[in-house]
Amino acid sequence: MTTRPPVHEGAPRRLTSTAITAGVFVAGAFFAVALLLEVLGAEPGSGEMTDVATVLDGLVALTPWAWATAGAYAVVATPVIGLLMTAWEYGSVGDRRTLLLALAVVAILTLSAVVAILR
C-alpha cells in the first residue's frame, strides 16, 4: 500500500498571489511612466535590452525606452518570482511534488531565456 501525500484544505497562495499582483502593478507603473514621458515629448532613448547599465542610465535620464524596457523586465520576472513563491509555499506544507514542479518550470523558463539572449 502506497502512502499518499496529505491533502491540504487550502493550497497556500498568499506569497504567490502577492508576488504576481505586485509584478502586475510594477510593470503597469513602468509602462505608464514610459507613456507619460512619450506624451510629454521626452527624448525616446534607445539601446539593447540586454545592456542593463544603459537601461539604468535611461531610467535616470527619464527616457521612455528605458522605462518601457523596465516594464518588460517586470513582465518577464513576475511569473518566475510567482513560481519561486509557489515553490516556497508548497515546500512549507510538505508538498514536495508541487515544489519540484514549480522549480522545474523556473529552470525551463531560465534556460529558454538564456538561449534567447545568446542566440
pTM of the model: 0.79
- Identify whether the C-beta of residue 18 lies closer than 8 Å to the C-beta of residue 25: no
Indicate the burial class of 103 (C-beta count within 10 angstroms; 0-12, 13-18, 19 or more).
Answer: middle
Rounded to whole angstroms, the Cα distance separating 37 from 23 reads 21
- Tens digits of per-residue pLDDT, 36-89? 999 999 888 888 888 899 999 999 999 999 999 999 999 999 999 999 999 999
Where is pLDDT greater, at 3 or 28?
28
Q: Is 3 strand, coil or helix?
A: coil
pLDDT at 117: 80
Q: What cell was used for 21?
A: 499582483
Task: Kindly indicate the confidence band of residue 10, based on its pLDDT and cuts at 50, 70 and 90.
Answer: low
Between the alpha carbon of residue 66 and those of residues 34, 47, 48, 101, 115, the distances in Å are 8, 8, 10, 34, 23
